[in-house]
Amino acid sequence: MKKILLIQTGGTIAMSAKGEGVELDPEAWSDLLIKQIPELEELAEITTYPLFFEDSSDLNAEHWVNLAKCIDVNYEKYDGFVILHGTDTMAYTASALSFSLQNLSKPVIFTGSQVPMSSVRSDARRNLINSVEMATTELQEVGICFNDHVYRGNRATKLSIGDFDAFGSPNLDPIAEIGLNIELNVEPKKLIPAFENSAAFSNEIFVLTVHPSLSMNILDCLDLTKLKAIIVRTFGSGNFPMKGEYNMIPFFEKCRDHDVIVAIVSQADYD
């Protein structure tokens, strides 16, 4: 039986009912996991590890580094990893780890839930069982497992706050589908270099969304000496204002003069 490390980081899946609301409750979560889903032991030999308990909106690059390190130090001990995570920033963390954990030969599966595990209509049970089973497969990358779909970690995004089918991958088909059987849509690699954790992130990156009437006075307030790069979310296929008071070219020239990298991407999700 394969060995799986189940890493808890918080989020809705770790919440339990408290009076009229819900809150993060590490101890209650551990009890629920054992009592409500005993069949997990039929899928794998599972070790649980509470790395931290946070609302995912409060996570940052430091948490990503700690999570990557946790997988690194346990890499040879386990056959796969499942990370329980809040849905709001799950796609960010999954993407970060997909670039940090290089040459993976094992699955690293993110999952969570829209409803706390303690609730009757929770999707947590389904997502957790699917994720543990996915972690026993031959997948060799970071994925997000949600509502019977598995998406590549750096190609997924949260699409809904109210549906159980909360995630999608606009420009890439799921890397696996879960039904009566698990269908992998990617072929495992036969020759893989040695695993390496290269987690290192910069806070000197700014994401700018272009919109009509974007004031250049606001952009002039940016201290470019403290930035390494700006990711510009433009219209259509890379279009932005080039006339009159909203002309962005002078701003981009200023970025060039300060050696700030400007990366142009589209706001259109399905291209």
Q: ∠ CA(160), CA(161), CA(163), 5° rounding?
A: 65
CA–CA distance, 83 with 220 (Å, rounded to integer): 41
Task: Give the active site residue among 9, 12, 93, 234.
Answer: 12
Q: What is the 3-state secondary structure (H, E, C) of the chain?
A: CCEEEEEEEECHHHEEEECCEEEECHHHHHHHHHHHCCCHHHHCEEEEEEEEEECHHHCCHHHHHHHHHHHHHCCCCCCEEEEECCCCCHHHHHHHHHHHEECCCCCEEEECCCCCCCCCCCCHHHHHHHHHHHCCCCCCCEEEEECCEEEECCCCEECCCCCCCCEECCCCCCCEEECCCEEECCCCCCCCCCCEECCCCCCCEEEEECCCCCCHHHHHCCCHHHCCEEEEEEECCCECCCCHHHCCHHHHHHHHHCCCEEEEEECCCCC
Q: How distant is the alpha carbon of residue 243 from its chain centre?
A: 38
- Token reading at 154: 């750096």
Asked if residues 132 and 29 have their Cβ atoms less than 8 Å apart, the reply is no
How many alpha carbons fall within 13 Å on the CB side of residue 43?
Answer: 22
Tell me, yes or no, if 12 is annotated catalytic: yes
Instruction: Give me the active site residues, please.
Output: 12
